[in-house]
Amino acid sequence: MGIPTNNRITIEAGKRGGKPCIRGLRITVYDVLGWLAAGMDTQEIIDDFPELEAADITASLQFAANREHTLQVLVAA
């Protein structure tokens, strides 16, 4: 099985190239973030992808925020 990153986001080497996915589905965090960035709201995403839940979208945002928070910046000398 893949690496659980929280209770909704999973990373599996053989699925979507190891990208973080929603609950083992083939929908990535990147997909969800892209739809939100394009202006879709939570209900529109769920209407288009009924296998998703509102908590999955929130988990995607939390995952992205955590990744951004833990990102280390390299400063050129």
- How would residue 76 be classed by pLDDT, with cut points 50, 70 and 90? low
Question: Quick one: tokens of 44?
Answer: 């529109």
What is the rounded radius of gyration, in angstroms, for the C-alpha atoms of the chain? 14
- Give me the percent of the chain exceeding a pLDDT of 70: 83
pTM equals 0.81
Query: Cα separation of 21 and 12, whole Å?
Result: 8
Question: Quick one: tokens of 76?
Answer: 């050129």
Domains along the chain? 3-70 (1.10.10.10)
Residue 21 phi/psi, 5-degree rounding, is -120, 165
Give yes or no for residue 27 having a pLDDT over 80.
yes
